[in-house]
């Protein structure tokens, strides 16, 4: 992307590995490199006159935690618009452009954004599916020396996010209330978002709840899946579904530390659904706007529909080793004119279930599904 755009941003949740990735990348950069970390007081001082500090630099300039100084973006635009200068900027940040004032406006047409997630199933390999599901994909959590150490890391992560990061982004709640809200969302993981119900339960208005959800989504901590709407006579659900962005964080919010805890919890099916959803969308490299769920008020539903060009792939997630065809799947296949439905399951075999519908194990989904 840096070959094509003067500015590239790597955005993702706290602790997901942005700085590490940027450091590895700078080490391989052919030419001079410079790094500024906007959480480091010395670097903040070096950048107090940004135009002056940056205008003589050539090569790769990494600006870490760039969201902390939105005034920098118009300066970058001036710098990259100069003719014949050899400079590239790599911005790292843990807040989405929606939450950071001015990045898209100031740098329109000059910036490409790359979203960074935690470790995915294709990276750790299907044999490591269980620890990845239990611990989630944050490097420190996944690589911890024991399940207990991993759970403790996540507990600390949640604490620092609610005490420091979310208030820092402007979320107008005390740490304990943010934690309570996030935990409420964990209990709704995989369900259609009902703002007025959530507002009532939390004791605030629909609009306040909407804003709180946007803060958590903007910090890459929850994910919303938009509903698909097909032009048919059936009444269809129009609100998004909500997922906690990482299975490990979900488990910690629900107080689940071990496999036994997860397996006995009523949300285990929803946890699998979120985990498998992440695995499929990462494998297909699908953009959020290509991913939907579908549901009618009469009760037909499909967990995931990925739409790209004229391709339409359907997915169901079943925490069982012997999934069966349901009426819902047949209705979805026909009403949505899907190319296929893959039922992603916990067993170990690929097998046909019906015309256009097959069962695919989550462990090996990488070798069976693609958008080609």
Counting residues that bind ligand ATP (by CB under 6 A) gives: 11
Alpha carbon dihedral 137, 141, 142, 145, in 10-degree steps, equals: 180
| Plot region of 44 (φ>0 → left; ψ -120 to 50 → alpha; else → beta) | alpha
Per-residue binding string, Mg ion, 8-27, x by CB under 5 A, is: -----------x--------
User: Alpha helix locations (H) across the chain?
Assistant: 18-27, 41-46, 50-54, 72-80, 103-107, 121-124, 129-135, 139-142, 147-160, 166-168, 175-187, 195-202, 206-218, 247-253, 259-264, 268-283, 327-335
Q: Is 17 in the site for ligand ATP (CB under 6 A)?
A: yes
Cα-Cα-Cα-Cα dihedral sign, residues 246, 250, 253, 258? negative
The rounded distance, in Å, linking the Cα atoms of 248 and 106 is 36
Could you tell me the smallest distance in angstroms from the CB atom of residue 146 to ligand ATP?
17
The token duo for 84 is: 């014949």
The rounded distance, in Å, linking the Cα atoms of 268 and 286 is 25
Q: Is 19 in the site for ligand ATP (CB under 6 A)?
A: yes
* Closer Cβ to ligand ATP, 99 or 343, answer by number: 99
The rounded distance, in Å, linking the Cα atoms of 303 and 344 is 10
Q: Are the C-beta atoms of 18 and 99 separated by less than 8 Å?
A: no
Q: Which residues pair with 90 in a beta bridge?
A: 8, 62
Could you tell me the smallest distance in angstroms from the CB atom of residue 64 to Mg ion?
5
Q: Is 14 in the site for ligand ATP (CB under 6 A)?
A: yes
Report what 16 binds from ligand ATP, Mg ion, none; CB cut-off 5-8 Å by kind.
Answer: ligand ATP
* Closer Cβ to Mg ion, 220 or 275, answer by number: 220
Site stretch for ligand ATP (CB under 6 A), options 97-105, 125-133, 136-144, 259-267? 136-144
* Closer Cβ to ligand ATP, 16 or 254, answer by number: 16
* Closer Cβ to Mg ion, 218 or 323, answer by number: 218
Interface pick for ligand ATP out of 59, 74, 120, 139 (rule CB under 6 A): 139
Site stretch for ligand ATP (CB under 6 A), options 15-23, 234-242, 272-280, 361-369? 15-23
Residues 93 to 122 in contact with ligand ATP, rule: CB under 6 A: 94
Which residues form the interface with ligand ATP (CB under 6 A)? Answer: 14-20, 94, 139-140, 143
């Amino acid at each position: 992307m840096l070959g094509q755009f003067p500015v590239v941003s790597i955005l993702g949740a706290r602790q997901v590995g942005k700085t590490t990735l940027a450091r590895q990348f700078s080490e391989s950069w052919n030419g001079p490199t410079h790094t500024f970390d906007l959480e480091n007081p010395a670097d903040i001082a070096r950048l107090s006159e940004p135009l002056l500090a940056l205008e003589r630099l050539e090569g790769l300039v990494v600006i870490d935690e760039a969201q902390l100084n939105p005034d920098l973006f118009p300066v970058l635009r001036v710098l990259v618009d100069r003719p014949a200068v050899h400079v590239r900027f790599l911005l790292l940040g843990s807040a989405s452009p929606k939450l950071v004032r001015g990045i898209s406006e100031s740098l329109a047409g000059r910036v490409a954004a790359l979203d960074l997630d935690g470790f995915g199933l294709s990276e750790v390999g299907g044999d490591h599916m269980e620890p990845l599901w239990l611990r989630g994909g944050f490097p420190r959590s996944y690589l911890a020396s024991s399940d207990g150490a991993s759970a403790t890391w996540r507990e600390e992560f949640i604490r620092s996010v609610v005490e420091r990061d979310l208030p820092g982004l402007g979320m107008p709640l005390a740490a304990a209330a943010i934690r309570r809200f996030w935990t409420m969302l964990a209990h709704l993981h995989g369900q259609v978002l009902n703002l007025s119900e959530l507002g009532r339960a939390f004791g605030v208005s629909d609009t306040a709840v909407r804003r709180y959800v946007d803060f958590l989504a903007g910090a890459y901590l929850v994910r919303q899946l938009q509903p698909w709407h097909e032009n048919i006579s059936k009444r269809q659900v129009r609100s998004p579904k909500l997922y906690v962005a990482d299975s490990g964080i979900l488990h910690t919010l629900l107080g689940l530390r071990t496999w036994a805890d997860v397996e006995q919890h009523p949300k285990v099916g929803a946890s699998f659904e979120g985990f498998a959803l992440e695995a499929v969308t990462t494998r297909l490299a699908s953009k959020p706007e290509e991913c939907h769920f579908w549901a009618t008020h009469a009760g037909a539903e499909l967990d995931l529909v990925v739409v790209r060009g004229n391709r339409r792939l359907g997915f169901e997630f079943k925490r069982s080793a012997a999934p069966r065809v349901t009426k819902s799947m047949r209705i979805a296949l026909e009403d949505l004119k899907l190319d296929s439905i893959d039922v992603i399951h916990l067993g170990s075999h690929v097998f046909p279930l019906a015309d256009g519908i097959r069962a695919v194990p989550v462990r090996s989904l990488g070798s069976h599904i693609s958008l080609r």
